[in-house]
Amino acid sequence: MPEDLTPDLEALEGALAARPAPGLPPDLRNRILAAVRRERADGFAAAWESHRRLIVAAAVAAAMLFWLNVARLAPGTGEPGGAASPALESPERIRTLRGSLPELDDRELDRFALLQAAVSRGRSVPPVRAVR
Amino acid sequence: MGETPEQQLREGLAAGSESAYAELYDRWGGRLFRAAWGLTGSREAAEDAVQDVFTALFRGRRGLARVERLEAYLFAALRHAAARRAGRRRGTASMDAATLVHAAPAAAVPAADPRLEEALRRLPPDQREVVSLKVDAGLTFEAIGEALGISANTAASRYRYALEKLRSTMKERSDA
């Protein structure tokens, strides 16, 4: 083991340690810290770029979901994005229905008009119960 | 229980704190540079290799929590950086230890004993690494073993063989 080096090897070890070596360059510290700062700035920029892409992707997905929902609601229900109900935009039709079905109150007449409109567009409708 | 200064330093490094890197440089920069000079034989390559160690450390800072001994980790990184730099200076991308055999003569500093410098140049690369890490960086054989991926005993034996080889080479030169 080196602890029991012979005197001549010890002397050689001393000569190795004493051989002249260049001193630490005075500007190396600043150069290295500048390189670390650059690395950090590059890392932040890369992280921000990936974050920004995520935000854009999330916004696009949200917009598509919103559009799909609106498109599903659109056909004539009177909800956001849809055309107004034919039943509601046609008071004359309500008056006609009231004439032919005087036993129905306003609310039932409105429901009846909605069902008629749906059937006329070929949409599936819930089963209609008998109305007196 | 409080943290040791090395744990605090390691946390600072892992967090990317510039002051932690400055502290690391103040603590290890001189020995890293001298060892890099011993490995590459060139002042410029040594500067670049030390800078490479710090940038590599910053890039891999999240893995520092798994490092048991920072000292050995630093010099293992230095060994790779020095091999890369020495390879570039020779126009190759070789990463093996043979690249470290005096890629350039240690001409920046006048040698006190030309026979010793010549004998160092003739050392096998693995022995030269151990000599540089022991004499230039002042590492223990345990740390050298960790940095090179060998046992402390192997590092010690390699060092002794290196000294014996140096002695015999110098003697040959004297007799010639």
Single-letter amino acid code for the residue at B86? A
B23 touching chain A per CB within 8 A = no
Q: Give the structural domain span for A44.
A: 25-73
Report phi then psi at B105, rounded to 5: -65, 150
State whether A85 and A112 are in the same domain. yes
State whether A112 and A90 are in the same domain. yes
Q: Point out the least confidently predicted range of A6-20, A70-84, B52-66.
A: A70-84
State whether A66 and A85 are in the same domain. no
Instruction: Using pLDDT thresholds of 50, 70 and 90, give the confidence band for residue A100.
Output: confident
Each residue's pLDDT tens digit, A24-52: 899 999 999 999 999 988 877 777 777 88
User: Nearest 10 degrees: CA dihedral of B102, B119, B149, B14?
Assistant: -50
- pLDDT of residue A128 exceeding 70, the answer is no
State whether A86 and A118 are in the same domain. yes
Each residue's pLDDT tens digit, B115-151: 888 899 899 999 999 999 999 999 999 999 999 999 9
State whether A85 and A109 are in the same domain. yes
State whether A46 and A83 are in the same domain. no
Per-residue confidence (pLDDT) for residue A2, from 0 to 100 = 56
Contact B167 A12 (CB under 8 A): yes
A66 found inside a domain: yes
B147 touching chain A per CB within 8 A = no
Q: Which residue has the higher pLDDT, B120 or A74?
A: B120
Number of CB atoms found within 10 A of residue A79's CB: 12
- Which of B18, B25, B127 is most worth mutating to test chain A (most A CB atoms within 10 A of its CB)? B25
- pLDDT of residue B162 exceeding 80, the answer is yes
Query: Which of B1, B2, B23 has the alpha carbon at shortest distance from B10?
Result: B23
Q: What is the mean pLDDT of residues B34-46?
A: 90
Number of CB atoms found within 10 A of residue A113's CB: 20
A12 found inside a domain: no
Domain count, chain A: 2
A110 found inside a domain: yes
A128 found inside a domain: no
A15 found inside a domain: no
- pLDDT of residue B38 exceeding 60, the answer is yes
Per-residue confidence (pLDDT) for residue B146, from 0 to 100 = 93
B66 CA to chain A: closest CA distance, Å? Answer: 21
State whether A65 and A86 are in the same domain. no
A18 touching chain B per CB within 8 A = yes
A13 found inside a domain: no
A11 found inside a domain: no
State whether A82 and A66 are in the same domain. no
* Averaged pLDDT of chain B: 85
**Percent of chain B scored above 90 by pLDDT?**
57
Which residues of chain A make contact with B58, given a CB cutoff of 8 A?
Answer: 36, 39-40
A61 found inside a domain: yes
Indicate the residue of A13, A31, A35 with minimum beta-carbon distance to B135.
A13
